[in-house]
């Protein structure tokens, strides 16, 4: 992992977006569906720790954390090692289609570390929408009620 030093702190070297980023944005517009809503014209080349670097060498703090999958930072050597080890076995198996030991082992660990002395189950989801749907279904199951109040911008 690249060590974060004063020189790897956020630093803007070009106008934003930079020349390489502009070229990439044009290529992207030509080949990628416009249905993706990207909030900023940032073209990421690499990440290390909490820093992301664009194709023009500008560095930024990654407040997005890779949409939460990089909460421990980018390119952490222990995480890279685990990913490499797992990729040698298999890359992805859908836990809703088949069983695999890693999924069960993680669920056991999550049940052990979460508070409360009651029977617990783990539901894996791949989005906030899936998590909300599961929470609503659990609430219906637990209470027998099926009406909810929702707040926006709370």
**What is the C-alpha separation between 151 and 145, in angstroms, rounded?**
18
Least confident of 16-25, 53-62, 68-77, 93-102: 68-77
pTM to 2 decimals? 0.70
List, in sequence order, the alpha helices (H) in the chain.
Answer: 19-31, 77-89, 101-113, 128-143
Summarize pLDDT for 78-136 with one digit per residue, the tens: 999 999 999 999 998 888 899 999 999 999 999 999 999 999 999 998 888 899 999 99
Q: Are 45 and 16 in contact (CB under 8 A)?
A: no
Q: Is the pLDDT of residue 4 over 60?
A: no
Domains of the chain, start order: 6-82 (3.90.1150.10), 93-143 (no CATH)
Short-list 21, 3, 1, CA closest to 12: 21
Using CB atoms within 10 Å of the CB of residue 51, give its burial: 0 to 12 exposed, 13 to 18 middle, 19+ buried: buried
Q: Is the pLDDT of residue 13 over 80?
A: yes
Q: Edge-to-edge strand order for the sheet containing 59-61?
A: 44-48, 51-54, 59-61
């Amino acid at each position: 992992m690249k060590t974060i030093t004063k020189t790897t702190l956020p630093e803007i070297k070009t106008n934003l977006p930079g020349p390489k980023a502009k070229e990439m944005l044009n290529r992207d517009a030509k080949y990628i569906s416009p249905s993706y809503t990207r909030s900023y014209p940032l073209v990421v080349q690499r990440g290390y720790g909490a820093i992301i670097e664009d194709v023009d060498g500008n560095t930024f703090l990654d407040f997005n954390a890779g949409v939460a999958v990089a909460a421990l930072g980018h390119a952490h050597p222990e995480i890279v090692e685990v990913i490499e080890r797992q990729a040698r076995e298999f890359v992805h198996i859908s836990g809703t289609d088949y069983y695999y030991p890693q999924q069960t082992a993680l669920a056991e660990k999550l049940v052990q570390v979460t508070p409360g002395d009651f029977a617990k189950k783990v539901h894996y989801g791949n989005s906030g929408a899936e998590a909300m749907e599961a929470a609503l279904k659990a609430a219906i199951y637990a209470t027998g009620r099926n009406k909810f109040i929702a707040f926006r911008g709370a």
